[in-house]
Amino acid sequence: MAAHEFSRRDLVRMSLASAFGAAACPWLPRLAAAAEKKKSAKACIVLWMSGGPSQTDTWDLKVGHKNGGPSKETATAVPGLRFSEHLKKLAEVARELGIIRSMTTKEGEHQRATQLLHTGQLPSEAVQYPALGSMLAKEIGDPEHDLPGYITISPGGLNMAAGPGFLGPQYAPMTVSGISDNPNARANLTIDYLKPEKPVATNDQDVRRQLLADLQTDFEKQHGGAAAAKAHAASYRKAQKMIDTEAKGAFKLDEEPAKLRDAYGRTRFGQGCLLARRLVERGVSFVEVTLDGWDTHAQNFEQVKTLSETLDPAFATLLSDLKDRGMLANTLVVWMGEFGRTPVINNNGGRDHFPLAWSTVLAGAGVKGGRAYGKTENDGRTVADKPVSVADFLATVFTAVGVDPKTENQTWDGRPIPLVKGGTAIEDLIQ
């Protein structure tokens, strides 16, 4: 029996034993430990802005400077804290937001920068590094849960930088890509690879499962319980459990009130954020939702306005929804892309890749909101105060969800790799 599972008889016996003191009851420590684990359990939702969002037109405007362009500010619920006029709903929940305006890196190429933000490491031929989602699924996920610990919601499928690396397939993400931008599309999602191509009778399924189990047992005996075989078996069990339980109905979005679905926005990203809340509510440790289109080399201001109209209601409603359900205190929400955009506007009315000074946002899980951390110069070209590296940023993320960023994992050949290589958590933003 798992530490958190108790029968009615166990509870009665514990109650009776308590009359004679805690020392007389061997179940009380188990109950206390299970309750404490449930109380402290945390999750993370990443809102991934694929392409590199313009900090100068979202969180760190330069109004009055030629680099600011036509972008205008709006006041927020926090006196003195201002950001884009296109983020009015987020302005209302600004007390939840910890805005980092001083991110700085050297990687201005999409693939390398995406790898860096997802893993904390640059690409390597020697080591396949695990993504943040895989690392957190291992550290705070429940391996016996019906749903995977790591799920990505993306219109374009899985980004290779978001894979499990050397942690193995049991920590690979399940990808959901079936959400439509059509507001009249079907509300309930299915995971295609969980459905057999042809109907299979229950007896035939049982025979196939037993055959696979026998083959895996024989393989492990011959090859000494190879890690790869164990990882594959764990992944298969997880998929089979999802089939048997129908994934606890997590993908039935029509269970949600129409008014709430409207508030998130009837877009792929908006409904993806709603799905992320449903998944976290059901015990998933890490969910990433992608909003693509931020690579604004041309017509930057028009594109950012359009993207913000999708982002603003979804992000703001996610925070409010989590808070109303008592989940925000234990759910870290991360807004980030791979880098920012140049303060200088190019000849096409766009902004190009810019890793030297840009922004990310944190909320929930004890983040000290209602503030901006760090500062860029008036022209936006450089960080003026409190520079934050990717290692610092990821150390802050791990610390916020209660994981020591110095924790080490082992590669297949026994090499120790820390969750974060260097870096210091930003104490001004986390409690």
pLDDT digits (tens, 9 = 90+) for 308-342: 999 999 999 999 999 999 999 999 999 999 999 99
Domain count of the fold of the chain:
3
- Return all residues near 81 (Cβ < 8 A) that are at least 6 apart: 94, 99, 370, 371, 372
Same domain, 2 and 103: no
Residues 8 and 59 in one domain: no
Domain CATH number, residue 372: 3.40.720.10
366, 329 contact by CB (below 8 A): yes
Is 98 inside any structural domain?
Answer: yes
Same domain, 219 and 339: no
Give the count of beta carbons closer than 10 Å to the beta carbon of residue 259: 7
Residue 250 has a pLDDT of 85
| Residue range 339-353: mean pLDDT, rounded | 98
Where does residue 422 fall: left (phi above 0), alpha (psi -120 to 50 degrees), or beta otherwise? left
* Of 80, 57, 45, 44, nearest in space to 359 by CA: 57
Is 387 in a helix, a strand, or coil?
Answer: coil
The verdict on residue 431 lying in a domain is no
- DSSP assignment of 183-233, as one string? TTS-SB---GGGS-SS---HHHHHHHHHHHHHHHHHHHHHHTS-HHHHHHH
- 263 and 304 co-located in one domain: yes
pLDDT at position 361 over 90:
yes
Q: Within this chain, do residues 261 and 361 fall inside the same structural domain, yes or no?
A: yes
DSSP state of 107: -
Q: 110-119 and 132-140 are packed helices; what angle lies between their axes, rounded to 10 degrees?
A: 10
**Domain end among 228, 250, 272:** 250
Residue with the two structure tokens 């802005």: 49
Structure tokens at 262: 């409207």
Residue 430: inside a domain:
no
Domain assignment present for 425: no
Residue 423 in domain: no
Confidence (pLDDT) at 229: 62
* Residues 181 and 194 grouped into a single domain: no
Query: Taking Cα atoms as reference points, which of 372, 368, 278, 373 lies closest to residue 332?
Result: 368
Rounded-to-integer distance, Cα 381 and Cα 9, Å: 66
One domain for residues 84 and 149:
yes
CA dihedral (77, 78, 80, 85) positive or negative = negative
Q: Give the DSSP H or E segment for 38.
A: helix 27-40
Give the start-end residues of each E strand in 104-142: none
Residues 242 and 133 in one domain: no
The answer on 281 and 303 residing in a single domain is yes
Of the chain, the end-to-end C-alpha distance in Å amounts to 35
Given pLDDT bands bounded at 50, 70 and 90, which one contains residue 5? very low
Tell me what the pLDDT averaged over the chain comes to.
Answer: 85
pLDDT at residue 238, rounded to an integer: 60
User: Residue 260 class from Cβ within 10 Å (0-12 exposed, 13-18 middle, 19+ buried)?
Assistant: middle
pLDDT tens-place string over residues 269-290: 999 999 999 999 999 999 999 9
Q: Taking 80 as the threshold, does the pLDDT of residue 193 lie above it?
A: no
Strand partners of residue 332: 44
Same domain, 244 and 256: no
Query: Whole-angstrom Cα distance, residue 63 to residue 58?
Result: 12
Give the C-alpha separation, 35 to 44, whole Å. Answer: 20
Mean pLDDT of 59-73: 97
Please give the share of the chain, as a percent, with pLDDT higher than 90.
Answer: 67
- Bridge partners, 371 (sequence order): 98
Look up the domain containing 200 and give its range.
190-250
d(CA 352, CA 357): 13
**301 lies in a domain?**
yes
Q: pTM to 2 decimals?
A: 0.83
Q: What is the dihedral of CA 79, 89, 310, 172, to 10 degrees?
A: 80
- Would residue 424 count as lying in a domain? no
Q: Are residues 245 and 255 in the same domain?
A: no
pLDDT value at residue 145: 86
Number of alpha carbons in the 13 Å side-chain half-sphere of residue 50: 17
pLDDT at 387: 98
In this structure, the answer to whether residues 327 and 239 fall within a common structural domain is no
